Every structure is written in structure tokens, then in C-alpha cells.
């Protein structure tokens, strides 16, 4: 959700900033802009559309310089046009600023600044920031102090970077509620919303805390708080991401690569965490809070989007394996509920990015009220990872396709491990635990088997991709999979799709069914099978076409439905984590047949850092 990258060093800034922006394009791609400086007047270019369009408009000869800031935008306030694209600039065109986040009190600030003579050229909330900094500089402050003073006036969230023509050796960055990370190179220094923007240059990083203002100089930096003059210390950490992990490696899209990574990402999620000799799992990240977890009574899972559907699956799992009363809430709605927390309450946040603003707000609220907060997060060093009391990393590697795939399976399997760990202190027997572990161990082989048959899904997508609407149905563990399948299809192919609990069909949605409205039914041979078959018959009786995701060897299903994709047999509890793979493939192929921008679907951003 908007990406920032800055460079200050000895190399030409332009190619490094463009490379960084391309890495961050998953965060937003409505428009982009760059400002580069080298003693002469700052050069600025903005463009609507993708980074490649910005790049095409820049003459590299004119944009020489070893310092610069850049931005890729996901519009919140104001349409994606050049005026609203970042960097924004001051009236004297000496200060340039990029911003990720939302300034909630921008209207009164704008009125005040306009009354003082400042001229605004955009509709954005961001522009007030650069004018505030300008006003403070006019009163004689240096850039760092001017930024501190400006940010004291601001309500809202921000990651910002500011360039000042009068202080050519300096870039000032600051953050509150939006991620910002400093990268420390050799006589060069970078900052970005995500380490992937600069990981090729350096793996030495400093994660800024909220309300930090950092002054970057070539090969040097210092950090103060927004409030005070005293310097603060932040640890230098080494990140573990290879530049190769950020490439497509022969796949047409990152999404397809990430679907295909799942045999490996499942292994990475469980590596060192299975103890078959005891029929249990080991999760080092939650060991420090295990006693409290064992005595917990209630678990609330909070998350958004695909992570929310993983949470819905998790609820069935925790209820099946533990004594915990479990509920799952959309993080964005969590604050409106009057949930009572005490020392027996646990809140589990699920997030690929670890930066989702709604999920972050939910865990802050839960912490304030005394709950134990745990996280299952992919991005190490992210805000949720740092704010949760304890947690488990997915180790899935960077997920770059905007549509989440591999992290759905990773976070789901980690919930199984968590529930197994807890359940073994409660009623779950050694043999039940062992059966789950064995099923987990077989998952990579099963997933690979389905990926080897992906052409079957391509054929099914060819047959149905022209349908304007789709229904996805499932029961119990597979109900969340139906929801996830529908979300995948709509977000990347723009085909309308709804996920429903199959039992709900006759309470309304069956009215939609006719020969042009196909249904994808997740119908493995588990305890829900007979009821699912009845639901499918009801659809067939109304001329609806049905594609089944069914258990290998189920010959009967062919007599009932129009098309089948078989999934390997495993425990009922693990089946949905296999069933989701063909649904990911179906969404992918349908979107590809429509010629969609699969890795960057319209209107979306990977990391939603605004509420
Ligand atoms: C859908 C998708 C989104 C995210 C949601 C939460 O494919 O990717 O729905 O799942 O924005 O993101 P995280 O997991 O980063 O908190």
C-alpha cells in the first residue's frame, strides 16, 4: 500500500531507485514518481500507471545524481493522476516528500497552511506534510528538526522520506504505523517500505520504531524521536532474503511460481517442528508463553482477506483438537465488538505481510485489554511480528503475487501444529497426534501430485472461463476453502464469484442457478459427503453446471457432476489444504485466459497499511 525507496551514496541513484520501485510495485501501482538530487536543482518526474511508464519518461542523463527518493502509489485521497502522484513539493520547490499512510487531520492543516499563503497543487492528504516541513524550515530549523515539528501536528499514519535542496547530503525519513526500514551499505544508505527494495545492495538493516525520525547521510545515520532531541539506538539486524527469491525463475507469473512453491513452503513451515516420537509438535516461538496458552479458555483469531479464511479453517481445527472456545473475527470489525478479555484470553493474528493495518489495530486493542497476543506471520521484522507477544514465522519466502497462495497453506498448517501442541496437553491421544503428523509429512508429495496434473485444471478453466458468475460451495473444513476459491477468482480474473456454505444454498443463493452460472463444489469423501451430494443434485436439477474437487477414486461423483479434479486422500482435517491448490490453479488459469495482470490486479495492493 504505497511503497517508498530512498538512496544516498556514491552510485547513480536513478537505476537503484527504479529497481527498488519495481520490487515494491506489489504495494501499489496507480502512479509513481522520483526525485533525484546532486547539488543542482532537484529533478522530478511523476507518471500515472506502472513503474515502466515512469521509467520510459525519464532521460537518465538529466537525472544524474547520487541521492533520491521514489514512490509507487495506491491511491487513497485523490485519483491516480500526475498531480496526486508523489513526491510532493513545497512552494519554493526545494523540499520533496514521499508518504505511505493516511494523514487524518489533513483538512484543518490544509486550511491553516492555505491561510498562511501555501499553494496546494494536489488533492492528497500527503501534500500538507511537505508544506508543514517548509513552514518549519522557514522559522530557521534544519531539515530533521523541521520534520520533527511537522510530525507533531499530524494525526494518522505515515512512513515518509524528505529531500531538501538546501541540505544535499541528507535524507530524513520517519514512521508511525507504516513500515520503514533503513539499509546500511558501504558508504551508502537506503530506506524502504520493504527490505526487498534494497536487499541486493545490503542485508544489514535497522527497523525503525513508530515515532522515529532518522537522518540519513552517506554511510551514517542518527535517529531521534518525533518528540525529543535525544538520540535513540536501534539494533542493526541481518535479513535473510536472497535476491533470487525475488525473481520469477521461469514462471509466467509470481502467482504461478508461488503456487508451485507449496510443496517446499509446507516443508519450511513445519521443519524442525514435528516430533513424531511424542505425537506432538514443537513451536519454539510460543514456548515462552506455553503455560499461559495451556491455561487459556478462549481464542480469537483475527485477520483479513485470505488470512481471514485461513482463520476460519483454523477455528474448525482448534475446536476439533483442543478445548479452546474459538472464534474468528475480521480484523476490521474487531474493534466494533465488545469482546471481554482476561488473562485466559488469547488473540491470534494471522498475516502474511505483518503490516495489515486492521490486524495491527486489532492486536493493539487486545493487548491493551490484557489478552495474550500471538502472531503467525511471514515477514520477519514486520510490525505484527514485533508487536505480538510471541509467535511463529511461516518461512515461506517473499510472496510477491498480490493474490496470496503459499501463505494460505503455510499459516493454515502452522495453526494445525499449534492446535496439535495444545491438544496433546488436553484430550488428544498420542495416536491421533501421530496420524496428523504423518498426514502433514505427506502433504508436499500430495501437492506435487496435483501440480503435476495442472493441465487438467487448465482444461476446466478453458471450458468455463467465459462464465460471468461463479459459486463455490463446501462444508465444514472445506467451507473456508470455498470462500478462498471465490476470493482468488474474483480478485485476479474480475469474474464475480461467491463462496457459500453448501447448506446455505437453499436459503437463498440457489435462486441464482441456471445453465450459465457454474458451481465449484469442494466435495471430498468425508463426513459431509452425502449432504454435499444432495446439494449438488439440487443444483443439477436446476440446470446448473458443477465442477467437483473430489477424492481420488471417487468414481460415483462423475455420474453427478460435469467435471472433476481429483485430490489425494488424506485426513479430513488436512484435505482442505490440498483442495485449495486446484482452486488456486483454476483462478490463475481463468485470469490468464482473460489476459489479466495476474500479479498486479487492478485496485489492489499486497500490503494494506491503511484501515
Ligand atoms: C488475497 C489477499 C488479501 C490478504 C489480506 C491480508 O489474495 O492477499 O486478501 O490476504 O490483505 O493480508 P495479510 O495476510 O498480509 O495480513
pLDDT value of position 131? 98
Indicate which residue of 2, 406, 490, 545 is catalytic.
2
Give tens-digit pLDDT for 29-84.
789 999 999 877 899 999 998 899 999 999 998 899 999 999 998 887 888 899 99
Distance 210 CA to ligand 1 centre (A): 23
Classify the phi-psi angles of 177: left when phi > 0, otherwise alpha if psi is within -120 to 50, otherwise beta.
Answer: left
Task: Give the percent of the chain with pLDDT over 90.
Answer: 84
222, β-bridge pairs: 215
Please list, in sequence order, all residues whose beta carbon lies within 8 angstroms of the beta carbon of residue 410, skipping any fewer than 6 positions away. 265, 266, 268, 269, 378, 394, 395, 396
Pull the grid cell for residue 152. Answer: 507533531
Query: In 3-state terms, what secondary structure has residue 51?
Result: helix
Ligand 1 nearest-atom number relative to CA 306: 10
Distance 354 CA to ligand 1 centre (A): 10
Query: CA nearest 374: which of 290, 477, 269, 282?
Result: 290
Distance 417 CA to ligand 1 centre (A): 21
Ligand 1 nearest-atom number relative to CA 305: 9
Burial of 198 (0-12, 13-18, 19+ CB in 10 A): buried
Instruction: Tell the residue nearest (CA) to atom 3 of ligand 1.
Output: 305
Q: Is 79 a catalytic residue?
A: no
Q: Which of 179, 253, 301, 306 to mutate to test the pocket of ligand 1 (most atoms within 8 A of CB)?
A: 306
Cα separation, 319 vs 390, in Å, equals 21
Give tens-digit pLDDT for 533-556.
999 999 999 999 999 999 999 999
Distance 313 CA to ligand 1 centre (A): 15
For 261, list phi and psi in degrees, rounded to 5.
Answer: -80, -10
Residues with CB under 6 A from ligand 1: 304-307, 351-353, 356, 359, 403-404, 487, 491, 607-608
Cα separation, 410 vs 378, in Å, equals 9
Distance 567 CA to ligand 1 centre (A): 25
Cα separation, 235 vs 181, in Å, equals 12
Give tens-digit pLDDT for 482-532.
999 999 999 999 999 999 999 998 898 889 999 999 999 999 999 999 999
Q: Is 304 a catalytic residue?
A: no
Which domains, from first to last, does the chain contain?
3-246 (3.60.20.10), 249-450 (3.40.50.10490), 453-599 (3.40.50.10490)
pLDDT value of position 108? 97
Element (DSSP H or E) covering residue 520:
strand 519-523
Residue 304 has pLDDT above 80, yes or no: yes
Ligand 1 nearest-atom number relative to CA 402: 8
pLDDT value of position 424? 97
pLDDT value of position 516? 95
Give the residue with greater pLDDT, 170 vs 389.
170
Give tens-digit pLDDT for 560-611.
999 999 999 999 999 999 999 999 999 999 999 999 999 988 887 777 777 7
Please list, in sequence order, all residues whose beta carbon lies within 8 angstroms of the beta carbon of residue 99, skipping any fewer than 6 positions away. 2, 4, 71, 86, 88, 126, 129, 158, 159, 160
Instruction: Tell the residue nearest (CA) to atom 7 of ligand 1.
Output: 403
Beta strands (DSSP E) in 524-591 are 546-551, 563-567
Q: Which of 253, 330, 356, 591 to mutate to test the pocket of ligand 1 (most atoms within 8 A of CB)?
A: 356
User: Average pLDDT over the chain, rounded to whole?
Assistant: 94
Indicate which residue of 22, 137, 490, 606 is catalytic.
606
Cβ-based neighbour number of residue 342 at 10 Å: 11
Cα separation, 503 vs 474, in Å, equals 8
Cα separation, 216 vs 220, in Å, equals 6
Amino acid at each position: 500500500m504505497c511503497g517508498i525507496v530512498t538512496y544516498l551514496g556514491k552510485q547513480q541513484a536513478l537505476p537503484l531507485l527504479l529497481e527498488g520501485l519495481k520490487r515494491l510495485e506489489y504495494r501499489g501501482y496507480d502512479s509513481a514518481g522520483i526525485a533525484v538530487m546532486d547539488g543542482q536543482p532537484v529533478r522530478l518526474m511523476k507518471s500515472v500507471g506502472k513503474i515502466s511508464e515512469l521509467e520510459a519518461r525519464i532521460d537518465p542523463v538529466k537525472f544524474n545524481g547520487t541521492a533520491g527518493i521514489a514512490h509507487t502509489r495506491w491511491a487513497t485521497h485523490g485519483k491516480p493522476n500526475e498531480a496526486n502522484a508523489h513526491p510532493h513539493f513545497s512552494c519554493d520547490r526545494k523540499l520533496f516528500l514521499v508518504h505511505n499512510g493516511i494523514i487524518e487531520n489533513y483538512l484543518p492543516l490544509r486550511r491553516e497552511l492555505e491561510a498562511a499563503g501555501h499553494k496546494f497543487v494536489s488533492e492528497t492528504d500527503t501534500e500538507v506534510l511537505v508544506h508543514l516541513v517548509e513552514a518549519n524550515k522557514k522559522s530557521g530549523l534544519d531539515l530533521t528538526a523541521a520534520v520533527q515539528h511537522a510530525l507533531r501536528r499530524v494525526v494518522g499514519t505515515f512512513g515518509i522520506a524528505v529531500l531538501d535542496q538546501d541540505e544535499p547530503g541528507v535524507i530524513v525519513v520517519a514512521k508511525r504505523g507504516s513500515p520503514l526500514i533503513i539499509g546500511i551499505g558501504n558508504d551508502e544508505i537506503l530506506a524502504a517500505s520493504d527490505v526487498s527494495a534494497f536487499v541486493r545492495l545490503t542485508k544489514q538493516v535497522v527497523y525503525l520504531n513508530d515515532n522515529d525520525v532518522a537522518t540519513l547521510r552517506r554511510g551514517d545515520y542518527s535517529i531521534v524521536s518525533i518528540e525529543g532531541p535525544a538520540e535513540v539506538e536501534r539494533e542493526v539486524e541481518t535479513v535473510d532474503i536472497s535476491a533470487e527469491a525475488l525473481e520469477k525463475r521461469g514462471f509466467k507469473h509470481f502467482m504461478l511460481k508461488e503456487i508451485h512453491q507449496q510443496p517446499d513452503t509446507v516443508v519450511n513451515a513445519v521443519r524442525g517442528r514435528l516430533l513424531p516420537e511424542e505425537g506432538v509438535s514443537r513451536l519454539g516461538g510460543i514456548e515462552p508463553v506455553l503455560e499461559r496458552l495451556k491455561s487459556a479458555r478462549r481464542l480469537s483469531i483475527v485477520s483479513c482477506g485470505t488470512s481471514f479464511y485461513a482463520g476460519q479453517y483454523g477455528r474448525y481445527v482448534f475446536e476439533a483438537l483442543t478445548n479452546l472456545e474459538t472464534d474468528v473475527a475480521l480484523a476490521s470489525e474487531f474493534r466494533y465488538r465488545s469482546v471481554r478479555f482476561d488473562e485466559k484470553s488469547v488473540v491470534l493474528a494471522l498475516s502474511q505481510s505483518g503490516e495489515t493495518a486492521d490486524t495491527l489495530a486489532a492486536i493493539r486493542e487486545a493487548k491493551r485489554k490484557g489478552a495474550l497476543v500471538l502472531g503467525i506471520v511471514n515477514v520477519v521484522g514486520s510490525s505484527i511480528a514485533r508487536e505480538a507477544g510471541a509467535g511463529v514465522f511461516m518461512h515461506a519466502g517473499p510472496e510477491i503475487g498480490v493474490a496470496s497462495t503459499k501463505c494460505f497453506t503455510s499459516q493454515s498448517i502452522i495453526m494445525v501444529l499449534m492446535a496439535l501442541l495444545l491438544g496433546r496437553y488436553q484430550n488428544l491421544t498420542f495416536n491421533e497426534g501421530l496420524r496428523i503428523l504423518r498426514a502433514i509429512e505427506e502433504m508436499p508429495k500430495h501437492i506435487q501430485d496435483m501440480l503435476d496434473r495442472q493441465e487438467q485444471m487448465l482444461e476446466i478453466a478453458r471450458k468455463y472461463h467465459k462464465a460471468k458468475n461463479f459459486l463455490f460451495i463446501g462444508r465444514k473444513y472445506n467451507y473456508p476453502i470455498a470462500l478462498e476459491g471465490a476470493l482468488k477468482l474474483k480478485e485476479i480474473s474480475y469474474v464475480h464469484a461467491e463462496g457459500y456454505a453448501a447448506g446455505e444454498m437453499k436459503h437463498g443463493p440457489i435462486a441464482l442457478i441456471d445453465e450459465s452460472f457454474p458451481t465449484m463444489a469442494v466435495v471430498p469423501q468425508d463426513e459431509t459427503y452425502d449432504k454435499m451430494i444432495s446439494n449438488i443434485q439440487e443444483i443439477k436439477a436446476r440446470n446448473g453446471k458443477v465442477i467437483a474437487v473430489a477424492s481420488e477414486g471417487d468414481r460415483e461423483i462423475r455420474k453427478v457432476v460435469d467435471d472433476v479434479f481429483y485430490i489425494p486422500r488424506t485426513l479430513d482435517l488436512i484435505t482442505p489444504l490440498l483442495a485449495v491448490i486446484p482452486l488456486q490453479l483454476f483462478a490463475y488459469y481463468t485470469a490468464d485466459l482473460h489476459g489479466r495482470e495476474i500479479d498486479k490486479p487492478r485496485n489492489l495492493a499486497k500490503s494494506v497499511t491503511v484501515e
